[in-house]
Amino acid sequence: MAGRVEGKVALITGGGSGIGEATVLRMHEEGAKVIVVDINRESALKVAENINAMGGSASAFVADVADEEATKAMIKHAVDTFGRLDILHNNATALEAGAVVDLTLEGWNKTLAVNVTAPFLATKHALPVMSAQGGGAIVNTASISGTRGDYGMSAYNAGKAAVINFTRSAAIENARFGVRMNCVCPGAIDTPAIQSMTGAGKVALPHVSLAGKGELPKLSAEASQHVRERMMNAHPIGRLGLPVEIANTVLFLASDEASFITGAAYIVDGGLTAHTGLPAMM
């Protein structure tokens, strides 16, 4: 079905790569005007220029989404540029990995700031705009890591769990104002972040670090492939997810097709959390 968000204005944070970039493209393909927000100016501009080159309407905005003044300016930019704001996708993320005893307070705070405080701030300042215009849809990127624990990812686990319950609380507060709010919980998705963490890509990601080291370990090609294969095999579907598969879920939740859905956490993980983790016994 084409035109699922025709004439709407969508703002996507972390829109310069990965799931965010895929969501920008899907929103454009289905008729929305888009604001591409990223902390990386070059990435935001590249994605916005690509949309405009295809005949769409896009504007890039550079922001640290954990900063309240930057967030206010981001929402204002959307309204000033396109006259309204119908869809907000809080997708930007950060991660400091490491055992609890190795985590720095700085890394813990940054992880929670980008994963929890940023969606709160964007939601807080988008709600008055959406309520005044009669409604809107907010979709947060949570994670299956917000529903289960991971070795060495306590800050990220805590942050994504907070996103899920923040989504629920904000959803019930604002449903009567015509604003729906949901979150998507991806499994392992083949984004630049995953590629960097498994050694499959050459992408430098300042928002992903290893506690106490400041960077991810350098793995041999063989070790990198082994890690990647283990991640793929952990999913019953037998592969990593694609950014567009999460973008399609975000698009659905933001569209009128999901008009009776609010406060939901959509698991999109290739069956990973359906599994107990025990080995096959047949």
Instruction: Convert the chain into a string of H (helix), E (strand) and C (coil).
Output: CCCCCCCCEEEEECCCCHHHHHHHHHHHHCCCEEEEEECCHHHHHHHHHHHHHCCCCEEEEECCCCCHHHHHHHHHHHHHHHCCCCEEEECCCCEEEECCCCCCHHHHHHHHHHHHHHHHHHHHHHHHHHHHHCCEEEEEECCHHHCCCCCCEHHHHHHHHHHHHHHHHHHHHHHHHCEEEEEEEECCECCHHHHHHCCCCCCCCCCEEECCCCCCCCCCHHHHHHHHHHHHHHCCCCCCECHHHHHHHHHHHHCHHHCCCCCCEEEECCCHHHCCCCCCCC
In-domain check, residue 18: yes
Q: What is the pLDDT of residue 224?
A: 67
Q: What is the pLDDT of residue 202?
A: 42
In-domain check, residue 33: yes
Please compute the mean of the pLDDT values over residues 127-136 and round it to a whole number.
98
Share of the chain above pLDDT 90, in %: 78
In-domain check, residue 210: no
Which tokens sit at 240?
């990593």
40-89 tens-digit pLDDT: 999 999 999 999 999 999 999 999 999 999 999 999 999 999 999 999 99
Residue 45 vs residue 231, higher pLDDT: 45
CA distances from 120 to 65, 139, 140, 250 (A): 10, 12, 10, 18
In-domain check, residue 205: no
159-181 tens-digit pLDDT: 999 999 999 999 999 999 999 99
In this structure, are strands 208-210 and 136-141 parallel, antiparallel, or unpaired? Answer: unpaired
What does the alpha-carbon distance between residue 130 and residue 56 come to, in Å, rounded to a whole number? 23
In-domain check, residue 65: yes
Per the residue annotation, which of 82, 108, 156, 266 is the catalytic one?
156
| Domain of residue 106, CATH code | 3.40.50.720
241-265 tens-digit pLDDT: 899 999 999 999 999 999 999 999 9
Domain hosting 154: range is 9-189+241-270
pLDDT at 215 over 80: no
pLDDT at 200 over 70: no
Q: What is the pLDDT of residue 190?
A: 86
In-domain check, residue 281: no
The number of distinct structural domains making up the chain is 1
What does the alpha-carbon distance between residue 240 and residue 232 come to, in Å, rounded to a whole number? 5
| 3-class SS letters over 40-107 | CHHHHHHHHHHHHHCCCCEEEEECCCCCHHHHHHHHHHHHHHHCCCCEEEECCCCEEEECCCCCCHHH
Amino acid making up residue 73? A
Nearest of 37, 50, 5 to residue 254 by alpha carbon: 5
Please compute the mean of the pLDDT values over residues 190-200 and round it to a whole number.
69
Per the CB < 8 A criterion, the answer to whether 189 and 242 are in contact is: yes
In-domain check, residue 179: yes
Share of the chain above pLDDT 70, in %: 89
Nearest of 150, 231, 166 to residue 195 by alpha carbon: 231
Residue 93 vs residue 282, higher pLDDT: 93
Is residue 151 part of the annotated active site? The answer reads no
In-domain check, residue 112: yes
